[in-house]
Amino acid sequence: MAAVLALLVITVVPVHAQPRIVGGVVVDDADEAPWTVALTTSSGYQFCGGALITPNLVVTAAHCVYGRTPASITVVGGRLDLRTDGGSTSVVAKYQLADGYSTPSRGKDIALLTLAVRMPYRVLPVAATTDVYAARNVGVVYGWGRQAESDTNKSPLLHKASIPIVADEECAGVYARYDAVAMFCAGYPEGGIDSCIDDSGGPFVVDGRLAGIVSWGIGCARPNTPGVYTRVTTYLS
């Protein structure tokens, strides 16, 4: 079971959500990523993603839940197509944010959700070492977000995209606030493939382990502008 480091229980705090797959493909095998979950409102509106790391614990981005009450968040598992009613759902019993979180660009963009109902799906192991962040390692990101920066509608179908990790010094050259302890970047120099709006909180998986969480960036899939992800090994072990 994953142990959570430096996390603080939060109930209600001021709203400061900053949501954030382009060039990807549809996930059509339910057994490929059963640990990928959607975060929705009670009415079913999907606003973020997450990863099931134990039957009742979900990792997501802090900005996805910051300002929301736990009871207002529903976690949906086992549902590739959000237009259907398959799979399982659970409200959130409580959640924790990384101690000191304020905004995604300042790091610590991670939250742990405790579900009221355990989910019957295979869980995603958390990466145990920082080797996963080596430049050019390729990870797979999952989400139901927009498929282009200019889109006004998100996808009801779960998508995935394979994206290479970018060297820390290269990312620091793009983002003045880049923090290599709290974050890592992934993207192609030419752009074209990236996570996007409403993919926030979704898992970035390297070698079958949770390495990152969709966090922030500038636009979606722009050239020389990689996406920024939470460096999960800093907060979970």
The mean predicted confidence, pLDDT, of the chain is 90
- pLDDT given for residue 73 in this prediction: 98
d(CA 228, CA 166): 10
* Residues whose CB is less than 8 angstroms from the CB of residue 43 and which lie 6 or more positions away in sequence, other chains included: none
pLDDT, tens digit (0-9, with 9 covering 90-100), for 147-202:
888 777 888 999 999 999 999 999 999 999 999 999 999 999 999 998 988 899 99
pLDDT given at position 146: 84
Residue 122 in contact with residue 78, Cβ under 8 Å?
no
Q: Which two tokens stand for residue 128?
A: 């145990």
Q: What is the pLDDT of residue 4?
A: 44
For residue 116, the model assigns a pLDDT of: 98
Distance CA 36, CA 50 (A): 6
**Residue 78 confidence (pLDDT):** 97
- Mean pLDDT of all residues in 58-80: 98
Residues 6+ apart with CB under 8 A from 179: 106, 107
**Structure pTM?**
0.89
Residue 38's pLDDT is 98
Mean pLDDT of 21-44: 95
CA-nearest of 44, 145, 55 to 85 is: 44
Domains of the chain: 7-18+34-115 (2.40.10.10), 130-234 (2.40.10.10)
By the 8 A CB rule, do 27 and 158 touch? yes
Residues belonging to the active site: 63, 109, 200
Q: Is the pLDDT of residue 9 over 60?
A: no
Tens of pLDDT along 90-118? 999 999 999 999 999 999 999 999 999 99
The answer to whether 20 touches 225, Cβ cutoff 8 Å, is no
Over residues 192-213, the mean pLDDT reads 95
Residue 12 has pLDDT above 60, yes or no: no
